[in-house]
């Protein structure tokens, strides 16, 4: 496919590129960037010409924390449907966690995921399990996982409670240049909690999860990372004190990074007041004070990544009483609009920050190339229309998981075009939300 993009408002902090430009895409790569490329320069029949007047063109984004559920839980999501949702959300590369069935603790399962992803709309990076079956008892065969192509290790959803096992995991991961992505949660302190412990949990009569359950494990893992020299990435950090620990560790030179999620940046535990099971997430939605701290964290660079923690579930998984509903939000298709409406449009972060938080930084942590928008670079791009007002309706979601607390909400700004390897894979320029195979 050859594409001539006209009048794109490019924002690319990787190459210090900003302003109106034209781009020519040929054979999957950006062949030419100029303030103007005349249509007379090309054979029009060979090119798809796209006029982006008034729209933003950004490098494609990376979501380094997602759950695609396949193999084993295809009723919740498949690699195909998850990648379709990711394309609609503006992600050109996603990393999938290993809590499948079987767990991705072996090369065969990793190869299966890679083979299923070959024809998917976006690029898929597998994450391998730290321990066999993610049971926290015995290390997985890390060398074979590395050979199979994993870019990080995590028992996400199942914290490694045994400190000796975590120490050894960090030591071995360093030998293979793989970061450890830690789900920080003391499961004994969590007990059977279902929401943030505080005023709202008391009023609602729901068992709370104390912030300390997360912070204790953040503290332990930072100490172990300093002890072993391992590269530690803290998943979905959600508390102010956890952030303080992260900042202090960075000052000391510990190799630690962290991510937070769009929903932890925009929703507090006040959202649980209606007992909507779609507000039940892990870690739970925290206090307004925590939200403000997280926002300061991404502004200051202490938090280097925003990831969706896309966690699709079936209707039945979220049915019934709050106590028994599954944890998780289906996050691909709302992330960028939420971040634009709540942060970028309010000058809390910029589009440049967004590209760093959801592009350059996750690429660095996972060891991926991220050339941005420049000539001869792979054409992984997205187009964002900040004037597009839309309403999220579950029936229109591409993900099989419709579990979102933002259903029915009016949003400002939308991803309207996603290009992967020079091919348009998602097109909403005319409001049809088309997925494009072939």
φ and ψ of 265, to 5 deg = -90, -15
Q: In the structure encoding, which two tokens stand for residue 281, read together?
A: 């997430």
Q: Which of 221, 309, 317, 385 is catalytic?
A: 309
Verify whether residue 309 is a known catalytic residue: yes
Tell me how crowded residue 253 is: count the other CB atoms within 10 A of its CB. 8
CA 281 – CA 389 distance, rounded (Å): 27
**Residues 415, 285, 313, CA angle at the centre, nearest 5°?**
60
Sign of CA dihedral 172, 63, 338, 278: negative
Instruction: Provide the residue count of the chain.
Output: 438
DSSP annotation string for 298-329: HHHTSS-EE---B----TGGG-S-GGGSPP--
- The answer to whether 164 and 228 are in contact (CB under 8 A) is no
Tell me how crowded residue 27 is: count the other CB atoms within 10 A of its CB. 10
Contacts by 171-176, CB closer than 8 A, 24 or more apart:
171/228, 171/230, 172/139, 172/142, 173/142, 173/230, 173/231, 174/228, 174/229, 174/230, 174/231, 175/142, 176/142, 176/143, 176/146
How many CA atoms does the CB half-sphere of 261 hold within 13 Å? 27
Catalytic residue list:
309
């Amino acid at each position: 496919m050859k594409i001539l993009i006209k009048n794109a408002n490019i924002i690319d902090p990787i190459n210090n590129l900003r302003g109106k430009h034209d781009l020519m895409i040929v054979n999957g790569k950006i062949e030419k960037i100029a303030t103007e490329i005349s249509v007379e320069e090309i054979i029009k029949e060979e090119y798809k010409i796209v006029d982006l007047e008034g729209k933003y063109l950004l490098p494609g984004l990376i979501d380094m924390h997602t759950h695609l559920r396949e193999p084993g839980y295809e009723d919740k999501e498949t690699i195909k449907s998850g990648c379709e949702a990711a394309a609609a959300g503006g992600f050109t590369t996603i990393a999938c966690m290993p809590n499948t069935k079987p767990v991705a603790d072996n090369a065969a399962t990793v190869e299966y995921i890679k083979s299923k992803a070959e024809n998917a709309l976006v690029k898929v990076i597998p994450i391998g399990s730290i321990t066999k079956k993610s049971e926290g008892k015995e290390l997985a065969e890390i060398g074979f996982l590395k050979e199979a192509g994993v870019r990080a290790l995590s028992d996400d959803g199942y914290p490694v409670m045994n400190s000796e096992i975590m120490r050894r995991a960090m030591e071995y991961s360093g030998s293979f240049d793989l970061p450890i992505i830690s789900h920080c949660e003391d499961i004994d302190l969590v007990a059977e909690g279902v929401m943030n412990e505080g005023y709202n949990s008391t009023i609602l009569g729901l068992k709370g999860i104390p912030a300390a359950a997360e912070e204790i494990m953040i503290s332990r893992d930072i100490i172990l990372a300093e002890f072993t020299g391992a590269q530690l990435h803290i998943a979905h950090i959600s508390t102010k004190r956890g952030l303080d620990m992260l900042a202090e560790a960075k000052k000391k030179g510990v190799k630690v990074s962290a991510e937070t999620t769009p929903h932890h940046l925009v929703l507090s535990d006040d959202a649980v007041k209606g007992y909507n099971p779609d507000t039940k997430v892990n870690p739970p939605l925290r206090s307004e004070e925590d939200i403000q701290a997280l926002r300061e964290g991404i502004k200051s660079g202490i938090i280097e990544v925003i990831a969706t923690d896309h966690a699709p579930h079936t209707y039945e998984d979220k049915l019934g009483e709050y106590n028994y509903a599954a944890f998780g939000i289906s996050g691909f298709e709302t992330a960028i609009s939420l971040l634009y409406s709540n942060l970028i449009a309010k000058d809390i972060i910029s589009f440049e920050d967004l590209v760093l938080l959801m592009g350059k930084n996750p690429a660095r942590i996972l060891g991926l190339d991220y050339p941005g928008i420049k000539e001869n670079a792979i054409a992984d791009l997205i187009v964002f229309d900040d004037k597009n007002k839309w309403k999220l309706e579950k029936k229109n979601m591409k993900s099989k998981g419709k579990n979102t607390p933002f259903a029915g909400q009016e949003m400002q700004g939308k991803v309207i075009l996603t290009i992967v390897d020079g091919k348009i894979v998602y097109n909403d320029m005319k409001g049809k939300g088309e997925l494009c195979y072939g």
